[in-house]
Amino acid sequence: EAGVTQFPSHSVIEKGQTVTLRCDPISGHDNLYWYRRVMGKEIKFLLHFVKESKQDESGMPNNRFLAERTGGTYSTLKVQPAELEDSGVYFCASSQDGWFSGNTIYFGEGSWLTVV
Amino acid sequence: KQEVTQIPAALSVPEGENLVLNCSFTDSAIYNLQWFRQDPGKGLTSLLLIQSSQREQTSGRLNASLDKSSGRSTLYIAASQPGDSATYLCAVRPSTGFQKLVFGTGTRLLVSP
């Protein structure tokens, strides 16, 4: 069974440019999450989808970040325009559970973004 | 606001040693706690998940304990091996806003042959 896959694995862009990160969750997982880790900091929650609906986007840093999940399948996270402080690792994760379950969350290998 | 702290930040041990990694959290209202492993340049691999009603979980040479009332968890690694070298992350799922994980900054472990 395929795990959570993310693309691109690495990206270097200039300040002001746009980058779109893609995540394919594990098949059958309704819950999809985005997290990120910036240099020297802990991993922080960005947002959570249940199927195609945004359940919680309280962690999104500002309106330069836009996440979508078309048809409840894959998700994209767009940063436009990118700033230097956006550099870091963006992790996507998925899980099968509902609110009452303690199922494990599965993480992808991350998209490493460098803004220069 | 839930905060998660991991001590030590880094640990270097010779192969064969038993070791303990510590995780503490400020708010005991959690749904569960999860330990992850991250290899350099890789994603997070779940090691153990402990529900709030549980005291410990075991998988192979790993044992994780949870004391929710005191806001502490430990990850015990028996007979460490060089392949155990990685960063170990602790994350709690709060009872409110329960779909978010709150992570610690991790413990970087190096096991030398």
With cut-offs at 50, 70 and 90, classify the pLDDT of residue B3. very high
The pLDDT assigned to B98 comes to 64
Rg value, chain B, Cα? 13
Low-confidence ranges of chain A (pLDDT < 70): 1, 98-103
- Nearest C-alpha of chain A: how many angstroms from B27? 17
The pLDDT assigned to A99 comes to 47
Chain B contact set for A108 (CB, 8 A): 43
The DSSP string of A14-73 is -TT--EEEEEE--TT--EEEEEEE-TTS--EEEEEEETTEEEE-TT--STTEEEE-GGGS
**What's the burial of A97, exposed, middle or buried (CB within 10 Å: 0-12/13-18/19+)?**
middle
- Nearest C-alpha of chain B: how many angstroms from A51? 14
Find the helix or strand (DSSP H, E) in which B73 lies: strand B72-77
Compare CB distances from A102 to B32, B44, B104 and report the shortest one's residue.
B32
Say if residue B21's pLDDT is above 90: yes
CB atoms within 10 A of CB A101: 13
Written as one letter, the residue type at B14 is P
Mutate to test the interface with B, among A105, A106, A112 (most CBs of B within 10 A): A105
Total CB pairs under 8 A between chain A and B: 59
Note the helical H segments in B1-113: none
Say if residue B95's pLDDT is above 90: no
Which two tokens mark A70? 């078309």
Residues in Cβ contact with A100 at an 8 Å cutoff, skipping those fewer than 6 apart = none
Compare A24 and B93 and report the one with higher pLDDT.
A24
**What's the burial of B83, exposed, middle or buried (CB within 10 Å: 0-12/13-18/19+)?**
exposed
Chain B contact set for A112 (CB, 8 A): 41
With cut-offs at 50, 70 and 90, classify the pLDDT of residue B96. confident
Per the listing, tokens 């990160």 go with: A21
Which two tokens mark B44? 């997070």
Find the helix or strand (DSSP H, E) in which B77 lies: strand B72-77
- Nearest C-alpha of chain A: how many angstroms from B97? 8
**Are the C-beta atoms of A25 and A74 separated by less than 8 Å?**
yes
What is the four-CA torsion angle of B32, B37, B43, B45, rounded to 10 degrees? -60
Q: Is the peptide bond before B94 cis (omega within 30 degrees of 0)?
A: no
The pLDDT assigned to B41 comes to 82
